[in-house]
Each structure stands twice: as C-alpha cells, then as structure tokens.
Amino acid sequence: DQQVKQNSPSLSVQEGRISILNCDYTNSMFDYFLWYKKYPAEGPTFLISISSIKDKNEDGRFTVFLNKSAKHLSLHIVPSQPGDSAVYFCAASAGNQFYFGTGTSLTVIP
Amino acid sequence: DTGVSQDPRHKITKRGQNVTFRCDPISEHNRLYWYRQTLGQGPEFLTYFQNEAQLEKSRLLSDRFSAERPKGSFSTLEIQRTEQGDSAMYLCASSSRGTGGNYGYTFGSGTRLTVV
C-alpha cells in the first residue's frame, strides 16, 4: 500500500521557468516531510523539509508547500536550472522511518 | 570525507551465496538506517539503529537478512542465501536530530546488488 504517491513520473520545464513537483499522502499521522534529489549512480540528496506545524518552507530557489487538509505536498523550484535535472522523491514520516514516493524525473531544458 | 560511505558500490553474486555490505555513517550521527530501492520505486525502509541498538525492523527484512551495528559506528547488512528478488540498490543513511526538529537523512551512494 503506497502511502506516499507521486503521480507524475516525469516533468519537463524550460530553463528559467517554475518547476512544480507534487506529492500526495494518505496517512494523517505523518508529521514530517522531506524532498530528496537523486542523480544517476548516486544516493538521494536531502533538499528541503517541512514539519506539519508549518505550511511553507523556503530555501533559496526551493519552496515546499504543505496542505494538510488535502494531504498534499508540493515543491516549487524557481527559476529552474539545467542542473536541477534529476529524480525528485518526496518522503513522509510519523516516527523513525520515512515512506518515499516513486519519484518524479525533472528535465530542465536549456 | 564527512559523508556516508558504503562498500562495495557494486556486487554481483550467484543465487544462494551470502553477501555482506558495509556502511560508515557520518561520525557524529547516532542514527543509522538501511533502505532498499528497486527500479522505478522509492527507497523502502529496512531497519534503523540508534547507536548500537536496532530499534525497528521492517517486515521486508526476512530471516535471511541481518543487520548489525556492533559499536554504534559502522553497520553491516548481510543477506544469506541470496535470491534473484534481492537484486536492488541498498542504501544506508544516517542522521541526528537538529534543533527545531529540522533534520534530514544523509544517504550514501548505495550498494547495487545483482543476483544472477
């Protein structure tokens, strides 16, 4: 049973535009959410996090939005750069383990 | 190097053989995690250590799998009598809680296991 879902397996965006990656979850007990970026042949790299007491967290070009009532999480990247091309995973936790989505492959076109 | 190190990077083994992977976490991190990732999926939790204590195990971790962290530093993951379904990327991560609950795992580059 997939508790964290990323329904878009891929996304293409022009350089300089906004990239919006979406994530939905089913478990209302999740209280911590993370986004990871993964390049081929490397482990996932932590990008940004948000706790359930917030609805927005910003770090440079990256902003994560949390809508608890909709059980929806999104990552905004603006402006998008070619180096942002990677697979992005969202993850959610209610304790010590994280549940990951299946990932969205982002391609930023120069 | 202050990252999480995993060894080996790749392992090809014959079905039925035993394999062991090693993970060296970031030295000041007391929490260590093992995840498994198959093609097209996100990482799936296997087990978690706080210092040397193994505090959680997933039901994915069958009897053929065992993990240890004997001195609360490096960890090993052993798979006995490997099966083709064990072929996956095995990821190790470490963490320590930061202030304000803002923390994240640091993952290693993984060990890719292929069982032939």
Residues of chain B with confidence (pLDDT) below 70: 1-2, 97-104
What is the per-residue pLDDT for B96? 80
The 3-class SS string of chain B reads CCCCEEECCEEEECCCCCEEEEEECCCCCCEEEEEEECCCCCCEEEEEEECCEEEEECCCCCCCEEEECCCCCCEEEEECCCCHHHCEEEEEEEECCCHHHCCCCEECCCEEEEEC
What is the per-residue pLDDT for B101? 43
Cβ contact (<8 Å) for B105 and A98? yes
The answer to whether residues B56 and B47 touch, using CB atoms and an 8 Å cutoff, is yes
Confidence of residue A98 (pLDDT cuts 50, 70, 90): confident
* Three-state DSSP state, A35: strand
The answer to whether residues A99 and A93 touch, using CB atoms and an 8 Å cutoff, is yes
Residue A97's φ and ψ, nearest 5 degrees, are -110, 150
Q: How far apart are CA A5 and CA A25, in angstroms?
A: 6
Residue range A21-38: average pLDDT? Answer: 94
Show residues of chain B in contact with A34, CB under 8 Å: 104-105
DSSP symbol at A9? S
What is the per-residue pLDDT for B103? 61
Say if residue A16's pLDDT is above 80: yes
Q: Please write the tens of the pLDDT for every residue from B29-43.
A: 889 999 999 988 999
Confidence of residue A97 (pLDDT cuts 50, 70, 90): confident
What is the per-residue pLDDT for A67? 97
Question: Which of A7, A10, A34, A46 is best to mutate for the B interface (most B CBs within 10 A)?
Answer: A46
Cα separations in angstroms, A89 against B19, B40, B72: 28, 11, 29
Cβ contact (<8 Å) for A43 and B31? no
Cis peptide leading into residue A79 (ω within 30°): yes
What is the per-residue pLDDT for B1? 53
What is the per-residue pLDDT for A107? 97
Residue of B nearest to A43 (CA): B109
Q: Please write the tens of the pLDDT for every residue from A35-91.
A: 999 998 788 888 999 989 999 999 999 999 999 999 999 999 999 999 999 999 999
